[in-house]
Structure 1
Amino acid sequence: MTEAISASQQRVADVLARHDIAARIVTFDASTRTAADAAQAIGCDVAQIAKSIILKAKPSQRLVLVVTSGRNRVCEKTVAELVGEKVGRADADFVRVKTGFAIGGVAPVAHIEEPITLIDEDLLTYAELWAAAGTPNSVFRLTPTELVALTTGRVARVKEENPA
């Protein structure tokens, strides 16, 4: 584990500081790109990983952020109903341009473009969560209440009920 901070991590740290959230960004030598990798590095349950899934609204091209439990898969049909237009997976270029982050390090905050944000209701059942902090090997701890406040996201049921 190292303590160096990148420009992407600094953007996240700045948002946390503006909201008086005393979260410390932790950078690991190993990747925390996937929810399983992050949970293993942190030593928490994979369900406590607040993973940021980026979708593209169609036809508006709006950025849609779904913060979901690391245990869940997002149901795109449900998300489309919630945002009022079709959505699809975003490619790496769209993610970088709209969020300023690389895939695997997308934080739930500090995006270049303000996203439409949905938060998986399952995340509210945990006392603490861990989210990406702007790079594929950094995270920060927060509570579900802090996540909702930081993102001003709408809490909803967004998971696939029977993932294939």
Structure 2
Amino acid sequence: MSERGPQDVQAFLDQHLPGTRVRVLEQSTATALEAAAAVGCPLGAIVKSLLFLADGDPRLVLVAGDRKADQRLLAGLWGISRKRIRIADPGTVQQVTGFEVGAVPPVAHVTSLPVWIDASLARYETLWAAAGARNALFPITFADLVRITGGTVATFTVEDRPAEQAPDADPGH
């Protein structure tokens, strides 16, 4: 399978959100902290795209950069045991989405995925989401994010502590 990139995200945006442009930057945007620093926005305005497996079925979870997904809350939403939910490994992320970890956008995946959207993202007028490369982002409003992903808005996150913001602790953005 060929790897997808910013051009695939831009093609999706051209069709579903005309006028929105992918921005390829000089610096890394692979973690929420890096992405927020790169565009000068609050950490919470970064959309982390995390792939979870629930009973083996992939589900995309969009989380604010200053929050983390709570697997107990996700289990309740999905009606399964917390033990039956796990974060996808990098190989599975690549296979299911077509994008590498650190570059997964909320759209333009090779596989159609059910999407859950962190309600706390609604705090911000402009959100920033990964755009298919570890240095690419695109701006989007919360309403447009919900519309173009067809996602379900829910509360399933808790505040993330700064010590947990290390680059390797944020595997899905």
Residues 1:66 and 2:61 aligned together: yes
Residues 1:30 and 2:27 aligned together: yes
What RMSD over aligned residues (CA atoms) do the two structures have, in Å?
1.7
CA-CA distance at 1:161 after TM superposition = 5.7
Residues 1:134 and 2:129 aligned together: no
Q: Among the aligned pairs, what percent are the same residue?
A: 36
- Supply the distance in 1 between the matched residues of 2:75 and 2:7 (Cα, whole angstroms): 32
Q: 8 Å contact 2:46–2:127 — kept in the other structure?
A: yes
- Supply the distance in 1 between the matched residues of 2:95 and 2:79 (Cα, whole angstroms): 23
CA shift in 2, pair 1:116/1:38, >3 Å: same
Q: Which runs of 5+ in 1 are unaligned?
A: 1-5
Superposed CA offset, 1:24-43 (max 9, x none): 11111211011110000101
2:96 counterpart residue number: 98
Q: 8 Å contact 1:107–1:133 — kept in the other structure?
A: yes
How many matched pairs? Answer: 157
- Supply the distance in 1 between the matched residues of 2:99 and 2:17 (Cα, whole angstroms): 23
How does the TM-score come out when normalised to structure 2? 0.85
Q: 8 Å contact 2:60–2:115 — kept in the other structure?
A: yes
CA shift in 2, pair 1:133/1:53, >3 Å: same
Match of 1:146 among 144, 147, 153: 144
Superposed CA offset, 1:70-94 (max 9, x none): 0001101211221233310110110
How does the TM-score come out when normalised to structure 1? 0.89
- Supply the distance in 2 between the matched residues of 1:20 and 1:36 (Cα, whole angstroms): 26
Q: Which runs of 5+ in 2 are unaligned?
A: 165-173
- Supply the distance in 2 between the matched residues of 1:7 and 1:159 (Cα, whole angstroms): 28
Q: 8 Å contact 1:25–1:133 — kept in the other structure?
A: yes
- Supply the distance in 2 between the matched residues of 1:20 and 1:132 (Cα, whole angstroms): 15
- Supply the distance in 2 between the matched residues of 1:41 and 1:101 (Cα, whole angstroms): 20
- State the one-letter code of the partner of 1:69: A
1:77 counterpart residue number: 72
Q: 8 Å contact 1:50–1:68 — kept in the other structure?
A: yes
Q: Per chain length, whose mean CA-contact separation is higher, i.e. which structure has more relative contact order (CA < 8 Å, sep 6+)?
A: 2
3-state SS in 1 of match to 2:115: strand
CA shift in 2, pair 1:15/1:36, >3 Å: same
- State the one-letter code of the partner of 1:13: Q
- State the one-letter code of the partner of 1:44: C
- Supply the distance in 1 between the matched residues of 2:160 and 2:112 (Cα, whole angstroms): 31
